[in-house]
Amino acid sequence: MTMELEDRIAAGASTLDSAIDSYTEREHDRPARRRLATVAASAVLLAGGVAAIAAIAPRSGEPRSAGPVATAAPITGPTVPAATSAPVAGPTEPEDPQQARLRTYAMALLLDSGLRREEMVAFLSENVPESEVRTCMEDAGFAYSPGPSPKEEVDADVRFTMAPHEYAAAYGLGIAGWDLGLLPRSPEPGEPAPGAGDAAVQVLAGCRGIFDPERRATSDAVNAAVGMFRVSLDNDQRTVTALAEWRSCMEAAGFEYGSPQAMRGSFYARITTGEALEPIFADEVAVAVANVPCEAAYSAVVRTVIDDRFHEFTAMFDAALASGLAPDAQG
């Protein structure tokens, strides 16, 4: 490991929360901060005993709030990167399973929009299967109602079933429309029987693998890699140019924002003031419709940069995992 990479890992070693919050804050998260569902902490063990990479995946049925661990989770509220049904363009050579999983998590945590349907299904599939969670809960003496499968989750999410321009016209950016109750809710996540109490919640966390030390170490290494790689991503000249072009595209439509994140944040900020939701939603729809072609072009460039520099992300992940300098390792 180079000294530069070691220094970058060490510098980011205490920033697990900020690495997660940066993703949460970037995308859309006034409602996302309302709560972190207990179900969001699920994860699986990969083949060969390698712990699954944990990451945040919001659920279409409920908003999500930031938390201390990035975990694969059911989709929550208007917090997933905007979807696209475009064919996957990626590496031409088949990747080994671990590399493919790392790529899925890199896209899910680093893209502000444009996460593909099949990527979200793969992302959610890293969770412990609901059938296994139910068996685990029943073995511990608790009844458990399984949640939907990854495919069912995504099939119920209108961000992955509607064309982007149709979604924008109907729901804007998915912010005020959520509070107005316009966005369809997805199937409920799996949960213990009503009245099962705190003991069942604790057992459920264990059944979903929250307390697995190997899984947690891998999760922390991913978070460290995301934080470090974002610096490289944001400073890549292609990303810088694409962001400038996004601004120009939006300005041509009559809107001025510094970034897609700032655009979304402006609507969350308006909601927190107590302003009536209807005018916020009307403005949001106008902005969202203009943003569709602008952000599609920007996201395509960001995706290309992630793909082209993916070897750097994997090196950062490997170094963080091996060094023990991933955020949680610092206590």
The predicted pLDDT at position 39 comes to: 24
User: Can you give the pTM of this predicted structure?
Assistant: 0.71
Does residue 137 lie within any of the structural domains? Answer: no
| Structural domain contains residue 195 | no
* Residue 140 domain flag: no
Q: Per the domain annotation, does 192 fall within a domain?
A: no
**Per-residue pLDDT reduced to its tens digit, 229-240:** 999 999 999 999
Identity of the amino acid at 243 = L
Does some domain include residue 34? yes
201 found inside a domain: no
Which residue in 229, 224, 227, 228 sits closest to 327, CA to CA?
A: 224
| Residue of 9, 70, 25 lying closest to 259 (CA atoms) | 25
27 vs 32: CA distance, rounded Å: 10
pLDDT reported for residue 96: 87
Query: Do residues 120 and 112 lie in contact, with contact meaning Cβ atoms separated by under 8 Å?
Result: no
65-122: per-residue pLDDT in tens?
332 233 443 333 333 445 554 444 455 567 788 899 999 989 998 998 889 999 999 9
Tokens at residue 197, please? 């109490």
Tokens 């205490």 locate to 14
Cβ–Cβ < 8 Å for 65, 35: yes
Task: Specify if 139 maps to a domain.
Answer: no
What secondary structure does DSSP assign to 25-78, as a single string?
HHHT-TGGGS---GGGG---BPGGGPBPPP----BBTB-----SS------BGG
Is residue 145 classed as helix, strand or coil in its secondary structure?
Answer: strand
Overall number of domains in the chain: 1
53 close to 218: Cβ distance less than 8 angstroms:
yes
Residue 215 within any structural domain of the chain? yes
Query: Which domain range does residue 88 map to?
Result: 3-128+148-187+208-330
Q: Are strands 191-192 and 144-145 parallel, antiparallel or unpaired?
A: antiparallel
